[in-house]
Chain A
Amino acid sequence: MTPTLTPHSDVDLFADPVLEDPYPTYRTLRDLGGAVHLARLDAWALTRYDAVRGALGDWQTFSSSAVALNEPVNEMLVGTVLAADPPEHDVLRSVLADRLGPRAVRSLQADIATRAEALVEEVVARGEFDAVTDLAAAFPFAVVFDLIGLPDDARPNMLRWADATFNVCGPMNDRTAGGLLVVQEMFEWVATLKAGDLLDGSMGRAIFEAAEAGRIRPESCIPLLAAYATAGMDTTINAIANAVHLFAQHPDQWDLVRADPALLPGAFNEVLRFDAPVQVFGRRTTRVVDVEGTEIPADSQVLLLYGSGNRDERHYADPDRFDVTRAPVDHLTFGYGTHGCAGQALARLEAHAVLGALAARVHRLHVGEPKRHLNNVLRGIESLQVHGVELDR
């Protein structure tokens, strides 16, 4: 390997200023190459759309055994659905898909829509509210908590635990170190759960039933339960928060969605493309592989930069423009292929319900400056004050 010929960078992708707005840094990296060696991490960032998508579609070469960007957490994740490769992965996945797949969640649609209408009605009537804590976080939290069937004593801790679970998937920095203590606390609690602690008929109970039926090993129950609980909250929360923020910033785009509700699914895809809640996950190369002319050695840590691929001008024209008519169904935000987000049907259902309820009532949202929430992996907002609501006219 000749360093002068290999695209490389000294940037710290996880420094606060980069997390605040990673897109200029992503562009610099994309212009260096589809694969860029990051000196600080001794890891390879895949930066362009085709490179990220290609790696997601090739689990044989890009193993999920390094889905986190540090080894202690990768060791913790051995045997989980997130970090497993086929065939082990497929068994765990099928247990989740039974309850989370589109066929299963169709029956939830009416209830989720009703709950979204009620919550939106309530916050809009107040006129002033926090679009994150009162709406974007409150809704998925309530829906997902009930679907998993978790006991109430987890309520005060669940969001803190979920946030930490994503933080520790970053490199070994201060955020990861702090998150590890919180994740340990979560696992100590989750490990005490027995089948009878989960609501009858819930998704959580179904995991224990799969173990009783011999589909999965009993020791897989707790990690699957933790995966449900953490992956189903912060992701959807940040997606809805980012959506409210983007539509408040781009009233012309909001008008388009309001004028034609059929645009809503495509518009939500554009929200997901524009600000991916999960910005990065890792992989490990199982062999030497050429990515857009750059040779990555075997056994290398790779970063899949979803947020960069989604803004790749080689794939999306004028990528920094928020345009709901683009309807980019092939964005990278849910991943793709073997590990494609198992909860995406439910996430879409929740987001369409909340945004649809807002679109039916609200002409304009007047918001303050968002307070960003910094996390190694997630891109989201901690707080977004709504100062005023102009109702339908």
Chain B
Amino acid sequence: MRLTIDRDRCEGYGLCADSAPELMHLDDDGELVLDHEDVPAPSSAAAETAVRVCPVAALRAD
């Protein structure tokens, strides 16, 4: 599973980072940083939740 951010849509709500802190975080400017674009298998459920809670559908997992 691979995570991608649509930077034009992401407004930095950070709900994804709250759901999957092991995969992503907001930096000091409130920009989302993916720490693992390729999701380790044990974190795939967390990745799917992170995608699900994005208010603006800016995060994708394929």
Binding site for B on A (CB under 8 A): 57, 90, 97, 101-103, 106, 329-330, 334, 336-338, 340-341, 344-345
Q: Are B53 and A345 in contact (CB under 8 A)?
A: no
Pick the residue among B8, B52, B55, B57 that contacts A344 (CB under 8 A): B55
Pick the residue among B12, B13, B53 that contacts A330 (CB under 8 A): B53
List which B1-47 residues lie within 8 A (CB) of chain A: 8, 11-15, 18-19, 29-31
CB of B49 to closest CB in A, whole Å: 9
Q: Are B55 and A341 in contact (CB under 8 A)?
A: yes
Q: Are B15 and A340 in contact (CB under 8 A)?
A: no
A337-B57, A344-B55, A345-B13 given; name 19 further pairs at CB < 8 Å.
A101-B12, A102-B11, A102-B14, A102-B30, A103-B12, A103-B29, A103-B30, A329-B15, A329-B19, A330-B52, A330-B53, A336-B55, A336-B56, A338-B56, A338-B57, A340-B55, A340-B57, A341-B55, A344-B13
Tell me what chain B mostly uses at the interface: helix, strand, loop, or mixed: loop
**Chain B residues within 8 Å of A337, by CB:** 56-57
Q: Are B57 and A336 in contact (CB under 8 A)?
A: yes
CB of A46 to closest CB in B, whole Å: 17
CB of A225 to closest CB in B, whole Å: 20
Kindly state the separation between the CA atoms of A341 and B15 in the bound complex, as whole angstroms.
14
**Chain B residues within 8 Å of A90, by CB:** 8
Kindly state the separation between the CA atoms of A338 and B18 in the bound complex, as whole angstroms.
21
Number of A-B contacts (CB under 8 A): 38
CB of A361 to closest CB in B, whole Å: 27
Q: Can you report 7 A-B residue pairs in the complex whose CB atoms are below 8 A from each other?
A: A57-B57, A102-B11, A102-B13, A103-B11, A329-B18, A329-B53, A345-B13
Kindly state the separation between the CA atoms of A157 and B30 in the bound complex, as whole angstroms.
36
Across the interface, name the chain B residue whose C-beta is closest to A106. Answer: B30
**Chain A residues within 8 Å of B11, by CB:** 97, 101-103, 345
Kindly state the separation between the CA atoms of A381 and B12 in the bound complex, as whole angstroms.
32
Given contacts A102-B30, A106-B30, contact A340 B56 (CB under 8 A): yes
**Chain A residues within 8 Å of B31, by CB:** 103
| B interface bracket (residues with beta carbon within 8 Å of A) | 10 to 19
Q: Are A334 and B57 in contact (CB under 8 A)?
A: no
Across the interface, name the chain B residue whose C-beta is closest to A53. Answer: B52
Kindly state the separation between the CA atoms of A163 and B12 in the bound complex, as whole angstroms.
30
**Chain A residues within 8 Å of B18, by CB:** 329
**Chain B residues within 8 Å of A101, by CB:** 11-12
Across the interface, name the chain A residue whose C-beta is closest to B52. Answer: A330
**Chain A residues within 8 Å of B52, by CB:** 330
CB of B19 to closest CB in A, whole Å: 8
Q: Are A102 and B12 in contact (CB under 8 A)?
A: yes
Kindly state the separation between the CA atoms of A40 and B18 in the bound complex, as whole angstroms.
44
CB of B29 to closest CB in A, whole Å: 7
CB of B20 to closest CB in A, whole Å: 12
Kindly state the separation between the CA atoms of A106 and B55 in the bound complex, as whole angstroms.
17
CB of B30 to closest CB in A, whole Å: 4
Q: Are B55 and A334 in contact (CB under 8 A)?
A: yes
CB of B17 to closest CB in A, whole Å: 11
Q: Closest 3 CB pairs between A and B?
A: A103-B30, A101-B11, A337-B57
CB of A18 to closest CB in B, whole Å: 29
Across the interface, name the chain A residue whose C-beta is closest to B19. Answer: A329
Kindly state the separation between the CA atoms of A340 and B55 in the bound complex, as whole angstroms.
6
CB of A270 to closest CB in B, whole Å: 15
Kindly state the separation between the CA atoms of A337 and B19 in the bound complex, as whole angstroms.
18
CB of B51 to closest CB in A, whole Å: 11
Kindly state the separation between the CA atoms of A308 and B8 in the bound complex, as whole angstroms.
31
